[in-house]
Homo-oligomer: A and B are copies of this chain.
Amino acid sequence: MEKSAVRIKDIAAKANVSVGTVDRVLHNRGRVSEKVRQKVLRMMEELDYEPNLIARALGSNRTYQLAVVQPDHLIDPYWQAPWDGIGKAAKELKQYGVTVTMYPYELTEVASFVAQAEAATQSAPDGILIAPLFYRESLAFFARWQAESIPYVLFNTYIAELPALSYVGQDSYQSGFLAGKLVQFGQAEPGTYLIAHIAEDIANSLHVTQKERGFRDYFAQLPAPAPGAPGAPANVVSIALPDPTDPSFARQLNRLLDDETVQLRGIFVSTSKAYEIAPYLQAYHREDVRLVGYDLLEKNIHFLHENVIDFLINQNPHEQGYQGVFALADQLVFKKEVPPLKYLPLDIITKENLRYYVGE
C-alpha cells in the first residue's frame, strides 16, 4: 500500500527548516515568514502528509470537556439508550483526553431544561451535545453558544433556526411517511387511519408535527383507487391525547373504539408510547387494527410479541448518543469535517428481526 508514513521531521528536512517551524505552520501559530510558510505547505502537499493522530493525542496534553444535556434516563426509559451510547463513546474517547459530563433534565419541565442547559454553559465546555426538546428555550442557548463559538451538536430533535455543528437523528418527516406505509401496507379496503400524539406539547415540539406531515403525505400520494373499484380514499385523522393517567385519555380512546361509524384500519403513535394504546386494542379484540409506534422499549416489545403492535420504528437512540459525541470529537480532537446532517436509518422492527436490534 503506502510507504512508511511521512512525519513532520521529513517535511522539515525537505523544506530545510526545523520541525518547530513546520509545527508552527501546521497549527497556524504565526511567527513564520510567508515565504517559508508557503514552502512548507508545498512540501506537505507533495509528501501527502497526514498527521499521526495517535502521536498527536499522546504528545499534546490537551483535554476536551464535553457537556451533554438530555432528559434524565431514570425518569423516562427511552433516554437510557442514548445515555448508554454516550457512555460508550466517552469510554472510547477517554484516551484521547475527552471527558464527558452529563446534565440531565426532567423531560417535562421547561425550568429543569433551562437550568441544566445553563449549568452546562457555565461549565465552559469545549463542546455541547443536546437534545433540545423545548424549541423556544433552546434558541437562546444556541445564540449564546454561537457567540462564544462553542460547537454544539443536536440530537433527537432537529432545530434548523440556528446552524448547529451537526444534527444526529432521524428525518422526522420521512419517519412519519414510513409509518404511513407500515400502517397501510397490504390493506386493500378503505378506512380511517389515526395518528395519535400522547402527552405532547405539539406547538413547542417541531418534530412531532413533521411526523404528522409525513404521515399525511404518505396517504396523499397513494394512487387513487381504480375507477369502479370499491372505496373512497383513506381517511386520516389526528388526535392529541393527554397524559395516560388523565381520565380523559381512556375516555377518548373508548369513544373512538366504540364508534361503529369509523372503519379504523390503523393507528400510528407519534412517540415511543404505543404501549399505552395497545391494551385498549387488546381489550376490544381489534386484531384488525394495525398499530405502529416508535422505539424498542420493554413495554413496546411486549406488545410486539403479542401481535398487538405490528411494527416499531427504531429511532436508534443508542447510535444517536454515540454518534453525537463522536461528531464533537471529530471536530475538536480529530479536526475532521463533520457533516451538518447525519440522518440515522429508519429501522423497521418486527417480532422476527427484533432480537438483532436490542442490546447493541
| Chain A residues with a Cβ under 8 A of chain B | 1-2, 5, 52-55, 57-58, 90, 94-96, 99-101, 171, 174, 177-178, 181, 185-187, 218, 343-348, 350-353, 355-357
Contact = CB atoms under 8 A, between A and B. Distances in A.
Nearest to A55: B58
Task: Summarize A's interface: helix, strand, loop or mixed.
Answer: mixed
Contacts of A95: 5, 52-54
Contact of A186 (B90, B187, B343): B187
A174 B53 contact: no
Given A1-B99, A95-B52, A181 B352 contact: yes
Contacts of A343: 356
A178 B350 contact: yes
A190 to B, nearest CB: 15
A8 to B, nearest CB: 14
| Copies held by the complex | 2
A345 B314 CA distance: 12
Nearest to A53: B95
A76 to B, nearest CB: 24
Contact of A352 (B1, B54, B178, B352): B178
A53 B177 CA distance: 45
B357 A353 contact: no
15 contacts: A1-B99, A5-B94, A52-B58, A52-B95, A54-B58, A54-B96, A55-B58, A58-B58, A174-B353, A174-B355, A185-B186, A345-B356, A347-B347, A347-B348, A347-B353
A5 B99 CA distance: 12
Contacts of A52: 58, 95
Contacts of A177: 352
A356 B218 CA distance: 18
Given A344-B356, A345-B356, 14 more contacts: A1-B101, A2-B94, A52-B95, A54-B54, A54-B58, A54-B95, A54-B96, A58-B58, A174-B353, A177-B352, A185-B186, A347-B348, A347-B353, A348-B353
